[in-house]
Structure 1
Amino acid sequence: MHLNIAGNNLMGSVDLASSLWRLENLTSLYLSHNKLTVTEEEGSNSSSTYPSRLVGLGLANCNTTKIPNLLMRLNHMADLDLSSNKLSRDIPNCIWNYDLRSLNLSHNMFTGTELNSSHVIPFSSVLNVFDLSSNRLQGQIPMPSSSASILDYSNNMFSSLLPNFTLYLSSTLYLKLSNNNISGHLPHPICDSPMEILDLSFNNFSGPVPPCLMENGVLSILNLRENQFKGILPTNISSGCSVETIDLHGNKIEGQIPRALHNCSNLEVLDLGRNKITDTFPSWLGRLLNLRVLVLRSNQFHGSIDYLEDEKSGEQFSSLQIIDLASNNLSGNLHPQWFGNLKSMKKYNNTGQIIDHRYLTLSTVGFYQDSVTISYKGSVVTFDRILTTLTAIDISDNALDGSIPASIGNLVSLHVLNMSHNAFSGEIPPQLDTMTALESLDLSSNMLSGEIPQELTDLTFLSILNLSNNQLDGRIPQSRQFETFQNSSFDGNVGLCGPPLSKQCGSPDTQK
């Protein structure tokens, strides 16, 4: 008998011992994701009647504080989901004795595993899901001896891997170890698994990135963000490259961006920010027509932001929605056509779809979601999900000069524009008034001159404006959003006058 009432809005308390445990023919019970509080009265072990055939139990998000005693008595259990509860202390040994095909203990407060010193779990069959994420587990990561399609140990306090942990990845498609304290080098045999998604972000891994991770053409997601990886990136990337996300932000990668990345036609997210890469602007990446996010900030890129028109398609960076080149050594003028080719920013997008990546295991279809950290409205913000409506250009803190191209006004869906701390000169283009989705505009610390265009008052969504430290003059516009901005938006422009500044227009100071 199967009883599945998961995913509803049922409320109240359920005592397993006094009700459901008496259903002797019950084979599966799923109460997950309601508004229930599930308990089990003390003394239920002594009952002679219990569902001895139970093989599936789902009590996720049921306000449970104790693992049901019944689990100590059962001989068979295939699917067990106790995630998102208030379970603490050690994971009991009885769970490791089952021949499980799916185990989810995530989002609890477990601190230990009650395993022997080998840290190998003697499951005899390949699991579909093995999820211990978001607990308080420490020490060495336990591995199921039979492997699992999905292995998730993220958001714990694990400090090490088994020396031969790659032996237990023979069936692993998805491995997530993010947000732990794991150190050491990645061994080359990690590429011997059929892995499609590898997330080791926010740890202390070091050494070189194994070339096979980018060269074997199997991985679709490679996230090594915020570690200590060093050396150069592999260059022998074949035409069969299937990678969709490469996130190496916050490591010590040197050298150049491998030109062979042009073989990765499915690449959507490339984040190499905060490394030690020395290269010119990779205009050739513009031919990757699926590329949505390009983050190269805080490296040593130099030279101009070249415009390279594709002879075949005539397009460049046509899907790009986030580009962050801040804090490099880029110089020279901006080619007007460079902005003109950002096709995805030239049309309104109100769908708000999430950039995610589909993966398929033995019986599960899942989605991996990318994240990105950008300067947003004057603060550094991490977006755990990237919506297609999130659009940003940040080329701040470089040595770019010349005028701001009027063509940037065609980017009508752009939300964030930061061109501060460069050497731009000339007037602010009045064509910016067509960027009606703009929420944050930072043109500070340049050499811009002339009056602030009255047309900028049409930017009614603008909540952050910084025009400070330029050579602007004349009266500050006085309508719509401009009435909300403070002195700091206009400081350092000796020729500006009018509110919010104390300097009045027409005073002797303005006539000098």
Structure 2
Amino acid sequence: MEALPELRVLVLKSNKFDGNMSLPSRSNLPFPKLQVLDISENEFVGSLPQRYFKSFRAMMDVKENQIYRGYDDFGGYLEMRITLKGLDQLLTRLLEAFTTIDLSSNNFSGSIPDSIGNLNSLRYLNLSHNNLMGHIPASLGNISVLESLDLSSNKLDGGIPSELTSLTFLEKLNLSMNNLVGQIPQSTQFSTFENDSYVGNLRLCGFPLTRKCNEKNGQRMQPEEEDDEDDEYGFIDGFGWRSVVMGYGSGIIVGIGIGCCIIRFGRPRWLVEFFFGVGYIYKKKKTRKRATPTQRRT
């Protein structure tokens, strides 16, 4: 298929294809006009196909003012179902500015190459549910028109590059279920993402997470074991088991004190009669009178 220079859409999703896509080939410039690559939910192995990232000319420097390629037989009557921003969508027209790469749900390993940042006209990138390791490349910040980035369910580590804050068109971000550390970058765009974009990274801190960061090194102020314990036994809105135990302990002490006062002084009357029966106060007074010795008249 690398020998098809006019190929613009390649969708092989939801099959049982396997093999290594990074093996060398005879093509010097494979898939120069490819706009859509979807091989998700297969069994491909090895590292990500870096040589493809260097040759996808249709995903580089696309002029934004040329939206439509034209009403040709291909672009005007194409139908394909792909996943965009986590939702399955049916597309009936291929725009020239539309570009997507979906390599999710395979067995790719190794790191994400810096060369992926050369695809500066890429709109959607999904590398989730693989075995990718290493850092998130800062070169992703070069893809200025990127609208969706999903790197979830991998083994990525290190911090979130501050260069990602330049992605002002980014609407969907999913970095969950990795081993990321440090403070989440702060920007106008990043403030729109919620907790589910970062869940599963126990060493991340900062907004929108409730874990605060140390101002010196950007690391969490609380030990990891304490945070894990709070996550496991915590309750809604930050009320953990420690608060509950303190509340119960205080309540027991106050309750015992009130009970002693009621038994000793017999007040309030209605509460005493409720627990000890009607006439308890009078019996108590009568008992006291009998116990008082009578005085003889002189």
Per the TM superposition, whether the score is higher than 0.5 is yes
Corresponding residue of 1:337: 51
Corresponding residue of 2:267: none
Q: Does 1:328 align with 2:42?
A: yes
Deviation at 1:340, TM superposition (A): 0.5
Partner deviation per Cα, 1:164-212 (whole Å, 9 max, x = no partner): xxxxxxxxxxxxxxxxxxxxxxxxxxxxxxxxxxxxxxxxxxxxxxxxx
1:315 to 10, 24, 29: 29
Aligned-residue CA RMSD (Å): 1.9
Equivalent position SS for 2:17: strand
Alignment coverage as a number of residue pairs: 219
Per residue, is there more strand in 1 or in 2? 1
Partner deviation per Cα, 1:102-139 (whole Å, 9 max, x = no partner): xxxxxxxxxxxxxxxxxxxxxxxxxxxxxxxxxxxxxx
1:353 to 68, 71, 80: 68
Q: What does residue range 28-177 of structure 1 map to in structure 2 within 5 Å?
A: none
The residue type paired with residue 291 of structure 1 is: L
Gaps of 5+ in 2: 215-220, 227-298
The residue type paired with residue 336 of structure 1 is: Q
The residue type paired with residue 176 of structure 2 is: S
Please tell me whether Structure 1 or Structure 2 has the larger radius of gyration of its CA atoms: 2
Alpha-carbon distance change, 412 to 368 in structure 1, aligned in 2, over 3 angstroms: closer
State whether residues 396 and 418 of structure 1, in contact with CA within 8 Å, keep that contact through their aligned partners in structure 2: yes
Paired-residue identity, %: 43
Corresponding residue of 2:247: none
The residue type paired with residue 138 of structure 2 is: P
State whether residues 309 and 316 of structure 1, in contact with CA within 8 Å, keep that contact through their aligned partners in structure 2: no
Corresponding residue of 2:183: 475
Alpha-carbon distance change, 373 to 510 in structure 1, aligned in 2, over 3 angstroms: same
Q: Does 1:428 align with 2:149?
A: no
Deviation at 1:372, TM superposition (A): 1.7
1:305 to 21, 28, 47: 21
Alpha-carbon distance change, 297 to 335 in structure 1, aligned in 2, over 3 angstroms: closer
State whether residues 76 and 93 of structure 2, in contact with CA within 8 Å, keep that contact through their aligned partners in structure 1: no
Per residue, is there more helix in 1 or in 2? 2
Deviation at 1:349, TM superposition (A): 3.0
Partner deviation per Cα, 1:340-385 (whole Å, 9 max, x = no partner): 01111122232111465449xxxxxxx9511221111111111111
State whether residues 420 and 444 of structure 1, in contact with CA within 8 Å, keep that contact through their aligned partners in structure 2: yes
Partner deviation per Cα, 1:314-334 (whole Å, 9 max, x = no partner): 210100000000000111112
Q: Does 1:466 align with 2:181?
A: no
Corresponding residue of 2:270: none
Partner deviation per Cα, 1:459-493 (whole Å, 9 max, x = no partner): 11000000000000000001131111000000000
Residues in 1 aligned to 2:183 and 2:165: alpha-carbon distance in whole angstroms: 13
Gaps of 5+ in 1: 1-284, 360-366
Residues in 1 aligned to 2:76 and 2:192: alpha-carbon distance in whole angstroms: 40
Alpha-carbon distance change, 288 to 402 in structure 1, aligned in 2, over 3 angstroms: same
State whether residues 22 and 47 of structure 2, in contact with CA within 8 Å, keep that contact through their aligned partners in structure 1: no
Q: What does residue range 355-434 of structure 1 map to in structure 2 within 5 Å?
A: 356-358=71-73, 369-434=77-142
Deviation at 1:307, TM superposition (A): 4.8
State whether residues 445 and 468 of structure 1, in contact with CA within 8 Å, keep that contact through their aligned partners in structure 2: yes
Alpha-carbon distance change, 358 to 372 in structure 1, aligned in 2, over 3 angstroms: closer
Alpha-carbon distance change, 335 to 369 in structure 1, aligned in 2, over 3 angstroms: closer
Q: Which has the higher contact order (CA 8 A, sep 6+)?
A: 2
Residues in 2 aligned to 1:315 and 1:334: alpha-carbon distance in whole angstroms: 17
Equivalent position SS for 1:287: coil
TM-score by length of 1: 0.41
Residues in 2 aligned to 1:355 and 1:286: alpha-carbon distance in whole angstroms: 25
Equivalent position SS for 1:352: coil
Deviation at 1:308, TM superposition (A): 4.3
Corresponding residue of 2:266: none
The residue type paired with residue 488 of structure 1 is: D
Corresponding residue of 2:229: none
State whether residues 287 and 310 of structure 1, in contact with CA within 8 Å, keep that contact through their aligned partners in structure 2: no
Residues in 2 aligned to 1:329 and 1:386: alpha-carbon distance in whole angstroms: 27
Deviation at 1:306, TM superposition (A): 3.1
Partner deviation per Cα, 1:240-287 (whole Å, 9 max, x = no partner): xxxxxxxxxxxxxxxxxxxxxxxxxxxxxxxxxxxxxxxxxxxxx122
State whether residues 309 and 315 of structure 1, in contact with CA within 8 Å, keep that contact through their aligned partners in structure 2: no
Corresponding residue of 1:457: 165
Residues in 2 aligned to 1:309 and 1:419: alpha-carbon distance in whole angstroms: 23
The residue type paired with residue 198 of structure 2 is: F
Corresponding residue of 1:447: 155
State whether residues 195 and 209 of structure 2, in contact with CA within 8 Å, keep that contact through their aligned partners in structure 1: yes
Residues in 1 aligned to 2:223 and 2:2: alpha-carbon distance in whole angstroms: 49
The residue type paired with residue 7 of structure 2 is: L
Equivalent position SS for 2:163: helix
State whether residues 402 and 425 of structure 1, in contact with CA within 8 Å, keep that contact through their aligned partners in structure 2: yes
Corresponding residue of 2:6: 290
Residues in 1 aligned to 2:151 and 2:106: alpha-carbon distance in whole angstroms: 13
The residue type paired with residue 297 of structure 1 is: K
Equivalent position SS for 1:477: coil
